[in-house]
Amino acid sequence: MTASTATSLSAALYARAQAVLPGGVSRNTVLRDPHPLYAKSASGPRVTDVEGVERIDFANNMASLIHGHAHPEIVAAVTEQLSKGTAFTLATEIEIRFAEHLCSRNENFEKIRFVNSGTEAVMGSLKAARAYTGRPKIAKLEGAYHGLYDYAEVSQTSNPTNWGSLDYPEKVPTAHGTPSSVLSDVVIIPFNDPERALTILDQHQRELACVVLDLMPHRAGLAPATSEFVSAIRDWTLGDGSLLVFDEVITFRSAYGGAQDWYQVRPDLTALGKLIGGGFPVGAIAGRGDVMDVMNPHASPVLFPHSGTFSANPITMTAGLTAMELFDRQAIDRVNGLARRAIEGIEDAIGTTGVTACVTGGGSMFRVHLKDRPPQNYRDAFLTPHESRRLKTLLDHLFDSGLMMINTCSATMSTAMDEGDVDALVDAMDAGFAELVRG
């Protein structure tokens, strides 16, 4: 059954949704043409929609489900905690245990605070950097997605009509009505271009609270940052007295201590989210003890008062600790190996079919581009109208073949997958490439 015919129940649900939800959805990532499909159940690497169609899930709820769906150990641990309560105006031991575990995975995590989303983790990290330095401005990568915070989302959707020169990228608001004062406190630098980035940063010496980096930004092409780039930014911040913040909301799945394990660089703060929640909403701010202590309520004065009704709730803490204990070094090696198998197979299919395409990625994630060479920054990765049409054709082919991808044609592996799941994706890619060549 194809996406075009499996519409009756989903169409009815979407009609109801449009009456009460803007655009019929609460998050744009679920939109499809002519309407979203609705999930009925899921187990392991597979999701079944309300029409009864089963698909292998390479989207994994936007990279958040490292163990796939309904992992039995996570289900059992959460079920036990549910009977004891879901949230209290009291602390819980599980928060301490989970904090101890995450800090044990990375020596850069001296202290940690839990929040409720990746957006909130980035927001808290930037506010902590401002509180620590006493400076207002932040710098970020052009095109990098850091969530919904006004300052963090500047230039995440810029395009050739408004992004300005590569030497001095324009500050482009994402949401209509963003105050101009927000733009004045944000500096945009190009990804993986240390010379241009440092030239821009030099114009804002002693003004920046921090530079925030995603080490493999999805919207900037899902290519890992070069060691040269990361080291150059670290050295600049050390000389300037500003902080270096890593956004590892997505990339923490890449290695035992996160993608920062790939580099000989120590960030001051790291924003976490997605996989550390074990399938539940989560975020965390981790880093240097003296920086984290801007949130210490016993300090005088308290530089950054911080709280949250559902922060560190025992359901998320239980699911997250269970998930991360399962995600040990052996599991990481295995899931990263599945991604390498997929990349190698897709690259073989590109060569065999002669399609114009390439693959980027690292760890347990990759992205297929319908371009002749791997993009190295947001402008390289930006889709032309022709590429957008071809990408939709490929994504529709994969979906109709029983495979779910992130809508940029990106995939994230889970430990629930095996070689057969990967090979099914490679075969479908091969057929999809052949269709593009014929078309």
- 247 has catalytic annotation: yes
Does residue 374 have a cis peptide bond before it, meaning omega lies within 30 degrees of 0? Answer: no
Task: State the Cα–Cα distance between residues 112 and 109, nearest whole angstrom.
Answer: 7
**What pLDDT sits at residue 371?**
97
**What pLDDT sits at residue 8?**
85
Residue 6 pLDDT class (50, 70, 90 cuts): very low
Q: pLDDT tens digits, residue range 38-78?
A: 999 999 999 999 999 999 999 999 999 999 999 999 999 99
The whole model's pTM is what? 0.95
Q: Decide the pairing of beta strands 39-43 and 269-273.
A: unpaired
Catalytic residue among 247, 293, 400, 421: 247
Mean pLDDT taken over the chain? 96
The residue to which tokens 């655009």 are assigned: 23
**What pLDDT sits at residue 439?**
81
Half-sphere exposure of 254 (CA within 13 A, CB side): 25
- 40 has catalytic annotation: no
Residue 25 pLDDT greater than 70, yes or no: yes
> In CATH, what class is 72-326?
alpha beta
Catalytic residue among 274, 371, 378, 400: 274
H/E run at residue 209: strand 208-213
Task: Match domain 8-66+328-438 to its CATH number in 3.40.630.30, 3.40.50.2300, 3.90.1570.10, 3.90.1150.10.
Answer: 3.90.1150.10
Q: Report the percent of the chain where pLDDT is more than 70.
A: 98
Angle between helices 314-326 and 93-105 (to 10 degrees): 30
Residue 4 pLDDT greater than 60, yes or no: no
Catalytic residue among 132, 145, 263, 378: 145
Mean pLDDT of all residues in 258-267: 97
- Out of 32-36, 192-196, 273-277, 420-424, least confident range: 32-36
Residue 7 pLDDT class (50, 70, 90 cuts): low
H/E run at residue 122: helix 118-133
Q: Is 247 exposed, middle or buried (0-12, 13-18, 19+ CB in 10 A)?
A: buried
- 333 has catalytic annotation: no
Helical H segments across 213-312, by residue range: 227-240, 289-292
Q: Collect all residues with Cβ–Cβ distance below 8 Å to 76 and sequence separation of at least 6.
A: none
Residue 340 pLDDT greater than 90, yes or no: yes
Residue 206 pLDDT greater than 70, yes or no: yes
Residue 3 pLDDT greater than 80, yes or no: no
The DSSP call for residue 293 is G
Q: How far is CA 176 from CA 122, 138, 149, in A?
A: 21, 21, 13
Mean pLDDT of all residues in 417-436: 98
Q: pLDDT tens digits, residue range 128-153?
A: 999 999 999 999 999 999 999 999 99
Spans of all domains in the chain: 8-66+328-438, 72-326
- Is 373 in a helix, a strand, or coil? coil
**What pLDDT sits at residue 102?**
98
- Other CB atoms within a 10 A radius of the CB of residue 114 amount to 26
